[in-house]
Structure 1
Amino acid sequence: MTWLILVTLLSVGLILVLTEIIFVPGTTVVGVLGVVFTAAGVIYSFATLGPESGYWVLGVALLANLIVLVLGLRSGVWKKFALTSSITSRSFDDRLLGLEVGQVGKTISDIKPYGKAEFGDKIYEVKSETGFITPNTKVVITKLESNRIIIKQ
């Protein structure tokens, strides 16, 4: 009966560790339970079989868990959870097309220091270089940088 309990504890621990590695990586609850069951099996072996057999069970349990860990990581299951592509596009890449330094437009809203201005037939969000600007004021683009339009009166 002692060996049945010992083998059951160690097997359940090993299965839980294997489940954590292959099927539910990252949850840690299943893995921690696996380690707890394995530790309970090792402690049980020390308590019932003595120190010599306990050390043998400890060694076998560590070796089995290490083998499961290595085989689980080599199986490639982690590749399914890894990000393999990256986003290369950026937002508002073409926002400044058709604009150039020195272009004249007029404000649509209060600029304090951000607001809306119209250049040509399009409305843009702009930043004032000089501070507050009232609506319907003629403005000039002084800088186009980092997707921002910097204006002055």
Structure 2
Amino acid sequence: MTILVLSTLLIIGLILILAEVIFVPGTTFVGIFGLVISLAGVAFAFANFESGTAWFITGVAFLLNFAGIVYGFTSGVWNKFALKNTLKGGTFDGRTGGLYLGMEGKAISDLKPVGKASFGDNIYEVKSEGGFITVGSKVEIIKIDNNIILVK
């Protein structure tokens, strides 16, 4: 019966320490609880077995817990929690390349004051300087600033 209690304490402690490292990193409560249960198992070993056997059980428990922690950190589980992608963007991303001041185009939707206009073969979202411009009207670029195309 004492071996069953001892092994249960040590196994539950090891499982909780592994759960802390692998499944719920950062909470520390589960890991501390696992460490306390492992230490209770070691104390139980010293209370119920002779000194040499208790030290052997302590060494095995320490090695298993240490191996579990090392495995948790080297298994690649942390890669699942790490952000690997970065957002690449900015205020100017080249959308207005090929446009220039004074370039003429045609409104392909009503500009109220924002709408769409075509310049060459491309369609751009534009903003009118003076308010409403009807579809089909000629427009002229008067300002290009941070991907905002201002027309009149």
Shorter-chain TM-score: what band?
A: 0.5 to 0.7
Percent identical residues: 40
Runs of 5+ in structure 1 lacking a partner? 54-59
Q: State how 1:27-106 maps to structure 2 within 5 Å.
A: 32=30, 67=66, 71-72=70-71, 74-75=73-74, 77-78=76-77, 80-81=79-80, 82-84=82-84, 86=86, 88=88, 93-106=93-106
Deviations 1:76-129 (A, max 9, x none): 625533344646578x94432221122122211111122111212322111223
Give the whole-Å Cα distance in 2 for the aligned partners of 1:67 and 1:37.
12
Could you tell me whether the CA contact under 8 Å between 2:126 and 2:148 is conserved in 1?
yes
Shift in Å, 1:71: 2.2
Match of 1:136 in 2: 136
Give the whole-Å Cα distance in 2 for the aligned partners of 1:102 and 1:130.
16
Structure 2 length normalisation: TM-score? Answer: 0.59
Deviations 1:5-34 (A, max 9, x none): 243133223124224524xx34889x84x7
Aligned length: 139
Q: Calculate the aligned-residue CA RMSD, in Å.
A: 4.4
Give the whole-Å Cα distance in 2 for the aligned partners of 1:74 and 1:45.
25
Give the whole-Å Cα distance in 1 for the aligned partners of 2:25 and 2:78.
16
Give the whole-Å Cα distance in 2 for the aligned partners of 1:128 and 1:96.
16
Match of 1:109 in 2: 109
Match of 1:147 in 2: 147
Give the AA of the match of 1:77.
G
Give the AA of the match of 2:70.
L
Could you tell me whether the CA contact under 8 Å between 1:17 and 1:65 is conserved in 2?
no
